[in-house]
Structure 1
Amino acid sequence: MTGLVSLTLGQRCEVRLEAAPMNLVSRELTMQLREALKRVAQHEDARVVVLSSAGDRTFCAGSDIAEFEGLHGQGAEGKLLLEKLVYRQLAVLEVPVIAAIEGHALGGGLELALSCDIRVASEHSKLGLPELRLGVVPGSGGTQRLARVVGLGRAKEMILLGELITAERAEQIGLVNRVVPSGQALTIAREMADEVAARGPLAVRHAKRLIDASLDRPLDEGMALELDASEDVFSSADMLEGARAFKDKRAPRFTGR
């Protein structure tokens, strides 16, 4: 795939924004991202995804502000609905997604990263949702996903003040999982992805689904879902392979069945 989004398929799939230096979220980029994620979802060998971007200045600076005037009135609805659709498409992929944040993640760029399961940021990155400074609200999941990651108080502080925070501060509040030296975000994200890909793929998919489900379900219901998933895993060939590999002191060869 060429253009504003590139895609590499494999057990570790890689989706890359190719609109450096700012990697702005245009309609065309969003459409290409939609197609890339569709292909990942259809790729039977996929076990994990790494989301990154070209350049080292900005992971994604969000929407092109120059387009805002043309979106006045109902024009914004189509843009926001498309972004919500694609960001949700990313969030609900069956396999885990790791964001490699090299440079700043602002506005829609941070909302894109929030749709991922794990976030790795380089030490020079800054993150924030400055939309209120422009008279608009975070409209692609920021008001919903941020609080689920950092809590209501931190989310309100970030959104209402619109301040950018350092990668170090982002790690302190749980917004990013790891801070790494400049230029190393993609390398570390790939290493983490390969660790995930080496795990039992059936169990990994169940684990992601169950963790996400825990956010909006009563504990008893979540425990019941966990039991169902465990029964499914214990009836799989992967479970037997994992147990035999442990006994034989070798690396397991999981097949996802």
Structure 2
Amino acid sequence: MEQVVKLTELEAGIVQVTMEDKDSRNTFTKELMSALITVFAEIRRHPGYKVVILTGYENYFCCGGTKEELIRIHQSDAKFNELNFFTCPLECEIPVISAMQGHGIGGGFVFGLYADFAILGRENVYTTNFMKYGFTPGLGATLMVPLKLGEVLGNEMLHSAKNYRGEELKERGIPFKVVPKAQVMSEAMALARELAEKPRLSLVTLKKHLTAHIREKLPIAIEQELHMHEITFHQPEVGERIETSFGK
């Protein structure tokens, strides 16, 4: 089977996690989710690593839930918190940079926001499109999106489910660097080198402190999202929307 997530040591202290599930365009397949858990566990075992660059391939950073996965949740056969990969960047001891060189769609965009830093491509599409299907957001999106992008824009994105180009988000004042997609990786590498100059213990200690409020609030947000899913996810209209949208 083709390796869908690759771990590459770029230089001393800097590693790159590349999502390359080309058959699914980096949607949340079982293979991708399992591989991400495995790779981040591997990173944890290496005391020499200081910084992680998380990225995708070609035009795709990460594109969220598969049709099969959404149908299973709609039919009460699964819950999103069973997909326990999405907090890997948050739980990683060392800083993680999301180099979103391609589109970030739905839960895929939220996954990138669990990193400590994010760099977006000017031409790429970013969206939290949960409500497009008629169900309320999950994966901790109700916490992470307003927290990372700002409350006004974050709430707008969650409610509207519309597509935003990186350039538009830049104009709206997001706190992340937005550059031409061809420059995303070079910007990520420059930041990674700045971080890798610092002692690993200091990086780990500072990240633990700076993310404590997220780790404290996240279980509450997920519990609330699961409650909203019990209300919204099982509507017949949601199943119809999933079928129609993925049928295009």
TM range (shorter): 0.7 to 0.9
| Superposed displacement of residue 82, structure 1 | 3.4
Partner of 1:193: 192
Q: In the alignment, what sits opposite 2:91?
A: 92
Corresponding residue to 2:49 among 32, 46, 60: 46
Higher relative contact order (CA 8 A, sep 6+): 2
Larger Rg: 1
Cα shift readout 1:174-228 (whole Å, capped 9, x = no counterpart): 64621122322122211211111112222222222222235688xxxxxxxxxxx
Q: CA-to-partner distance for each residue in 1:38-65, whole Å, 9 max, x for gaps?
A: 111111111000001111x221121123
Asked if the contact 1:30–1:82 (Cα under 8 Å) also holds between the matched residues in 2, the reply is no
In structure 2, C-alpha distance between the alignment counterparts of 1:113 and 1:44, rounded to whole Å: 24
SS at match of 1:3: coil
Query: Normalization by structure 1: what TM-score?
Result: 0.75
- Give a deviation string over 1:68-110, Cα, whole Å, max 9, x none: 3344332232xx1233x22223212111000111121010111
Q: CA deviation at 1:119?
A: 0.6
- Aligned position for 1:115: 114
Cα pair 1:119 1:176 within 8 Å, conserved:
no
130-139 vs 109-118, which deviates more? 130-139
Query: 1:14-29 counterparts in 2 under 5 A?
Result: 14-20=16-22, 22-29=25-32
> SS at 2:98's partner residue?
strand
2 CA distance for matches of 1:102 and 1:46?
23
- Runs of 4+, deviation exceeding 4 Å: 172-176, 214-217
- TM-score under structure 2 length normalisation: 0.78
What does residue range 48-63 of structure 1 map to in structure 2 within 5 Å?
Answer: 48-55=51-58, 57-63=59-65
Please tell me the root mean square deviation across aligned C-alpha atoms, in Å.
2.3
Runs of 5+ unmatched residues, structure 1: 218-257
- The 8 Å contact of residues 127 and 165 in structure 1, kept in 2 or not, is answered as yes
Which piece of structure 1 moves more, 42-51 or 67-76?
A: 67-76
Paired residue total: 213
User: Residues of 2 paired with 1:214 and 1:141: CA distance?
Assistant: 14
Q: Is the 8 A contact 1:49 1:98 kept in 2?
A: yes
- 1:139 is paired with a residue of what secondary structure? coil
* Distance (whole Å) between structure 2 residues aligned to residue 91 and residue 197 of structure 1: 18
Cα offset, 1:153, TM superposition: 2.4
